[in-house]
A = this chain, B = another copy of it.
Amino acid sequence: MPVIIHKYGGTSLGEPYLIKKNAERVADCAKKGNSIVVVVSAMGKSTDNLISLANEVSKNPNPRELDMLISVGERITMALFAMALNDLGLEAISFTGSQSGIITDTRHNNAHIIEIRAFRIKEALEQGKIVIVAGFQGVSVEKEVTTLGRGGSDLTAIALAAYLGASECDIFTDVEGVYTADPRTVKSARKLEKITTDEMLELANLGAKVMYSRAMLLAEKYRIPIHLRSSFIDEAGTIITQKEQGEKNMEEPAVHAITNLDKQAMISIYKINNSGNYVPRIFEELADKDINIDIIIHNSCKGETSDLSFTIAEKDTTEAEKIIKQIITSNFICIDKPLTKISLVGLGMSSYPGIAAILYGTLSKVNINTYCVATTEIKISILVKETDSQLAIEMLHRAFNLDKIEKESGFPIIQKS
């Protein structure tokens, strides 16, 4: 009998009545004759609360002990979820990450799954039980409790889907699916019927917190189709699938979604003397201080001097400026902030020149200046002033027809004017 995986996020389990409500959905699904494994996150903000407790007793909590501490959040929900199912007259049993056989490496707080030995889950399913699994956690090869880092419960769900050969992997959350743009910003933003893991990967990296990169990479690797949907309304969400084998050179390029990340800054340094080895030193020193660099534009003029621009989070600008001025004393440094990074995501975009044309044309029509552009296979990112971002996103959303839909593919179409 094929197995169905349900994963419920923290907001979907934030209160006892929500746990009961989701248990009813699982019960309905089980009564149709399905074998079900439910992967649960910790209730609401409980993991954050546990981390706050840790910070109250220690300036620098020991990573092993932190895993011991924060792994309890999912244990609470798994037990409550199993009880709620029992109360509905169904046989259910909860398993911790360790009991589920989620074997990880020894990297505490950010462990990676190396093997699944879910014998107890298989046995319980064979006995007709519904299995509830604590997400986000595992046991290391040294028999210590580990946690999988941000988005860890999604990883648990996808890894178990792969191991059990699940026919469905439904990720229930507090959003209704993947949108063409942030619905809070863009009124005409539309839920996508489907999207590829590649594109989701870009969206995850670009700050759309719906799914994290590691989960997408795992789904891609094991070709697990995911149904991302709301636990609060009974409606289809977005199917996240892999590209079909024969689909590598899709003829139809498409912008599928727009995402935005505020509070960015761009630092530009002009006419850097190339003989001074300044550029690598700047990057090294910034890395030492944990300042993350996003987009880099390095324009070397005839080998003598070069211009360097890069983007960082706005909060890091003061420290970055200090570091740069210690290395380079005489050059002109320009800092632009606050900026918003707007990214267009879609398959085969880079090979389709029309997209850049639409992008620039649209923004220049409303006099929005772009600070920098970066492209990948399936993404174009631009930076604009934060004050311009709302208008820019709305104009681009319309320009790429994200508010309309092509019936057959479920994807929006690009207006080929």
For A65-106 the 0/1 string (1 means CB < 8 A from B) is 110110110011011111110110000011010000000000
Report the Cα distance A82→B59, complex, angstroms: 13
Does A276 have its Cβ within 8 Å of any Cβ on chain B? no
Binds B, one of A28-36, A48-56, A390-398: A48-56
A68 contact set on B, CB distance < 8 A: 75, 78-79, 82, 94, 96
Assembly stoichiometry (copies): 2
- Chain B's nearest CB lies how many Å from the CB of A290? 22
- Chain B's nearest CB lies how many Å from the CB of A271? 49
A379 contact set on B, CB distance < 8 A: none
A417 contact set on B, CB distance < 8 A: none
Whether A66 and B79, one on each chain, are in contact in the complex, defined by CB atoms closer than 8 angstroms, is: yes
Write the chain B residue with the least CB distance to A18: B57
Q: Which of B58, B75, B82, B93 contacts A72 (CB 8 A)?
A: B75
- Chain B's nearest CB lies how many Å from the CB of A353? 56
Whether B64 and A80, one on each chain, are in contact in the complex, defined by CB atoms closer than 8 angstroms, is: no
Q: Which of B17, B53, B84 contacts A80 (CB 8 A)?
A: B53
For A365-408 the 0/1 string (1 means CB < 8 A from B) is 00000000000000000000000000000000000000000000
Whether B84 and A16, one on each chain, are in contact in the complex, defined by CB atoms closer than 8 angstroms, is: no
Does A112 have its Cβ within 8 Å of any Cβ on chain B? no
- Chain B's nearest CB lies how many Å from the CB of A50? 7
| Most chain B CB atoms below 10 A, which of A20, A50, A58, A66 | A58
Does A19 have its Cβ within 8 Å of any Cβ on chain B? yes
Whether A61 and B76, one on each chain, are in contact in the complex, defined by CB atoms closer than 8 angstroms, is: no
Q: Which of B53, B65, B78, B93 contacts A86 (CB 8 A)?
A: B65
A81 contact set on B, CB distance < 8 A: 57
Does A364 have its Cβ within 8 Å of any Cβ on chain B? no
Whether A82 and B60, one on each chain, are in contact in the complex, defined by CB atoms closer than 8 angstroms, is: no
Does A300 have its Cβ within 8 Å of any Cβ on chain B? no
Does A185 have its Cβ within 8 Å of any Cβ on chain B? no
A65-B79, A66-B79 in contact; A87/B59 too (CB < 8 A)? yes
Whether B65 and A94, one on each chain, are in contact in the complex, defined by CB atoms closer than 8 angstroms, is: yes
Whether A54 and B69, one on each chain, are in contact in the complex, defined by CB atoms closer than 8 angstroms, is: no
Report the Cα distance A83→B23, complex, angstroms: 36
Report the Cα distance A54→B86, complex, angstroms: 12
Whether B72 and A20, one on each chain, are in contact in the complex, defined by CB atoms closer than 8 angstroms, is: no
Whether A65 and B82, one on each chain, are in contact in the complex, defined by CB atoms closer than 8 angstroms, is: yes
Report the Cα distance A19→B56, complex, angstroms: 10
Write the chain B residue with the least CB distance to A23: B57
- Chain B's nearest CB lies how many Å from the CB of A389? 41
A50 contact set on B, CB distance < 8 A: 76
- Chain B's nearest CB lies how many Å from the CB of A47? 12
A17 contact set on B, CB distance < 8 A: 56
A292 contact set on B, CB distance < 8 A: none
A94 contact set on B, CB distance < 8 A: 65, 68
Report the Cα distance A96→B144, complex, angstroms: 11
Write the chain B residue with the least CB distance to A55: B16
Whether B69 and A57, one on each chain, are in contact in the complex, defined by CB atoms closer than 8 angstroms, is: no
A56-B16, A69-B75, A72-B72 in contact; A62/B86 too (CB < 8 A)? yes
Report the Cα distance A340→B72, complex, angstroms: 43
Whether A79 and B87, one on each chain, are in contact in the complex, defined by CB atoms closer than 8 angstroms, is: no
Question: What 6 pairs between A and B have smallest CB-CB spacing?
Answer: A16-B56, A69-B79, A72-B72, A58-B83, A68-B79, A58-B87
15 further interface pairs, Cβ-Cβ under 8 Å (given A57-B80, A68-B82, A71-B75):
A16-B53, A17-B56, A23-B57, A54-B83, A57-B83, A58-B87, A61-B83, A61-B86, A62-B82, A64-B93, A65-B82, A68-B78, A68-B79, A69-B79, A69-B80
Pairs A–B under 8 Å by Cβ, sample size 14: A16-B53, A16-B56, A53-B80, A57-B83, A58-B84, A65-B80, A65-B83, A65-B86, A66-B79, A68-B79, A68-B94, A69-B79, A72-B72, A72-B76
